[in-house]
Structure 1
Amino acid sequence: MVTSSPAHAAPPLQSYKIDPDQISVSGLSSGGYMAVQMQVAYASRIMGAGVLAAGPYLCADGNVLYATTRCLNSGVSFLPSPDYFQELTEELSDAGRIDPTADMAGDRVWLFSGGADDVVLTPVVDRLRAFYESFVDAGNVVYLRGQIPEAQHAMITDDYGKPCGFEGGAYINDCDFDAAGALLKHIYGALQPPVEAPAAHLKLFDQSVFSGTDSLAAEGFIYVPSDCESGNALCRLHVAFHGCRQNRNVLGDEYARHAGYNEWAEANDVVVLYPQTESATVNECWDWWGYTDAGVEYNYATRSGLQMAAVRALIGRVAGEPQSSYCGADSNAAHAAAGRAYTQIGWWFWTYYYASGSDYYLGALGSTSTMLKERRPGYWEPVLSCP
């Protein structure tokens, strides 16, 4: 069990030699929705996704009622057509709030729906497949639809967890099928067989510098293979999102240790990042319906979303990207062009400006000069002066 205490705070997140073209994501349930959001919003950076038991991008439409009905297991017949989600995505892309949708074309996508899953029904995952087929080359999308008839709502493994048809507990079930290995092989191609994952290679890190009040926990997990730790290899990076009720507060390190990723990671030089939600969030879920939004439509699913920007900053640190410490004055339009701010069309088609990450309202004029300071990667606030 990986532990820390206030007297022994988790160490800072380190950087490694990461191939920038080999960064991918995956997740179960709310983590699956989060993986979809990350892959779509950062399509120029994320090259693949593995999704278990989740629906299309913007499925909840920023509405908790939709999140708990049509996107799970009731009212599924009221899900909008694939065209609806495609058009919403294109609108956000055209507004510059997510990366160009064309960047998804060559991505690798692996989808799974258990035959007995009664939490997220198969028609919801069907709609996710239809969504991806609007943007991703058809041959790059693999969908395992009900191929394990007894599989319930869980992370599916070949040798760990509750019986395959069990619902609850840690939501990790032994179905004699290695979902983590299957999705990693589809995303990255041929891989070496899994090997033992040394317990000490799974580490805690200080997540607080990236999360602030963004509903992320103070600490996260990262698995670092031997050759990635030593710097002897150019490594891949995979971000694995836990589902609801699976964060460290509930399971300790059980999900990070037993979901099935680390053995493949050790054999194939894949650093695995396990971001963690805060215990105060709704059922420890990732935000895929807007509970972190400050009244800004769809913000939770864009590059300016609080959790989105925080996880993107984690990726940047692990990949060794230059860390900005910007503080300066410029026009709102210039801030938006540089990604420090974003826009939203409001009443009478006015363009409103907001600081990225913090969502502070900056005004309705692009020519207005505002001084912004980057408090942490991806999070800007207006200030009166710069040091």
Structure 2
Amino acid sequence: MAWSLTGRLVHYLVLGVCCTLLHAVPKLASYNVDTAKVSVSGISSGACMATQYHVVHSREVMGAGIIAGAPFMCSGGLVATAVGTCMKSPSLISVTALEAITSSGAWFGNVDATYHMKNDRVFIFDGTKDSVVNPVAGQKVAQYYGHYMPSSHIKTVFNINAEHGMPTLNYGGACDQLNSKTYLNNCNYSAAFQLLNHIYGGLQAPNSKTQANGQFLQFNQDEFFHLALPSAYSMDSVGYIYVPTGCANKQHKCRLHVAFHGCKMGRMFVGEAYVRHAGYNEVGDLNNIIILYPQVISTATNSQGCWDWFGYTGSLFATNKGFQMTAVRRMVSRVIGSSSSIVG
């Protein structure tokens, strides 16, 4: 049906406003970051992405926090395996096979040499009440990482009665119930602090009155994609970064942590609930840790807004040539002010 002149004018006006708002989102800035102090973490699909990013770029990452996740390449690039085996029946996972896949990836240059993980530190959390990801998956993650680093570098927490979600100190729904509105669980336990403290060591812990007084900023994710818009790879045009007070003036060496949200936890689903209330910002402010929050959206191939851990962006999703992987690495390189050329 043909549009009226008024309808067309309204349409173009809306497009113009949208474009103006998009261009108003600033570029991601660079900061004074210790390049040897970059780490990652995530919840659910974000945990799988954190593992992928850690393994693929282990030369540049010193540790990972895995909340309700699965081992590297667990899905084999198949959504049926991701749901059926990795989430529901992780006892069927062959960690030996995943280690062989990792070695093959390193041999072909698709992931960093695995010896880079030998000094890394990994934190693994699975709630006993998790109805989405079978907690046994966490044991498989620990078994996988145990092949590459000393057991003393791996901390597991499998004894808290938490449902599927991010355990926080004092925000969200009941710890032992599925809070599908935000997937943030008030467990009187800060997983953000626990994982960051295990990775870095000696951190100052937040309490219920700690406030994040640094800069909470949006940034434009478009510029980190060179072949198409972010939406082509199920990523948002907007991401977030939290810059602690002690890092904003760029006079002090700070650390950088990338926090990957889970399915249905991105801006498209929960607004700013995760990036403001998951607990990372308070820890970051107390300890000069910049927190980077890349964002994923829902698309036809990814209706729940998950990070790609089962191949919906292509067969190279868990390699240094993966579209999401490359974009996030470009973001990391921008934050740390790296001049190195990243191809992809």
Q: TM-score, normalised by structure 1?
A: 0.79
Equivalent pair of 1:214/1:310 in contact (CA under 8 Å): no
Partner of residue 95 from structure 1, selected from 108, 118, 123: 108
Q: 1:190 aligns with which of 197, 202, 206?
A: 202
Tell me the equivalent position of 1:180.
192
Correspondence list, 1:225-264, <5 A? 225-264=244-283
1:154 aligns with 2:165: yes
Point out which structure has higher relative CO (alpha carbons under 8 A, 6+ apart): 2
Q: Are 1:30 and 2:51 an aligned pair?
A: no
* Structure with the largest fraction of strand: 1
The residue matched to 1:277 in structure 2 has which SS? coil
Structure 1 residue 165: deviation in Å? 1.2
Following TM superposition, the consecutive aligned residue runs of length 4 or more in structure 1 with deviations greater than 4 angstroms are none
String of CA shifts for 1:247-269, please: whole Å, max 9, x gaps.
00111111000000000101111
Answer yes or no: is the 8 Å Cα contact 2:234–2:305 preserved in 1.
Answer: no
Aligned equivalents of 1:13 and 1:323: distance in 2? Answer: 17
Distance 1:128 1:267 in 2: 29
- Preserved contact between residue 62 and residue 290 of structure 1 (Cα < 8 Å): yes
> Aligned pair count?
315
Q: What is the root-mean-square deviation of aligned Cα atoms in Å?
A: 1.4
Q: Percent identity?
A: 38
SS state of the match for residue 84, structure 2? coil
| Aligned equivalents of 2:271, 2:216: Cα separation in 1 | 12
Within 2, Cα distance between the matches of 1:40 and 1:157?
26
Q: Which residue does 1:290 correspond to in 2? A: 311
- The structure with more helix, counted as a fraction of residues: 2
Contact 2:193 2:205 in 1 (8 A): no
Where do 5+ consecutive residues of structure 1 fail to align? 325-376, 380-387
Residue identity in the other structure for 2:327: A
Length-normalised TM-score, structure 2: 0.89
Residue 79 (structure 2) pairs with residue 64 (structure 1):
yes
Q: Provide the residue aligned with 1:220 in structure 2.
A: 239
Does the aligned pair in 2 maintain the 1:317–1:323 contact within 8 Å?
no
Match of 2:32 in 1: 17
1:22 partner SS: strand
Partner SS, residue 45 of structure 1: coil
1:222 Cα shift? 0.2
- For 1:161 and 1:93, locate their aligned partners in 2 and report how far apart those are by CA, in whole Å: 40
Identify the residue that residue 337 of structure 1 maps to in structure 2: none
Q: Which residue is equivalent to 2:224?
A: 210
SS for the counterpart of 1:7 is: helix
- CA distance in 2 between counterparts of 1:76 and 1:96 reads 28
Q: Give the partner amino acid of 2:250.
A: G
Q: Does 1:85 align with 2:104?
A: no
Deviation at 1:78, TM superposition (A): 2.6
Q: Residue 323 of structure 1: CA displacement?
A: 5.6
User: What is the match of residue 114 of structure 1?
Assistant: 127
SS state at 2:86 partner: coil
Alignment deviations for residues 332-357 of structure 1 (CA, whole Å, 9 cap, x no partner): xxxxxxxxxxxxxxxxxxxxxxxxxx
Q: Any gaps of 5 or more consecutive residues in structure 2? A: 1-16
Do structure 1's residue 305 and structure 2's residue 318 form an aligned pair? no
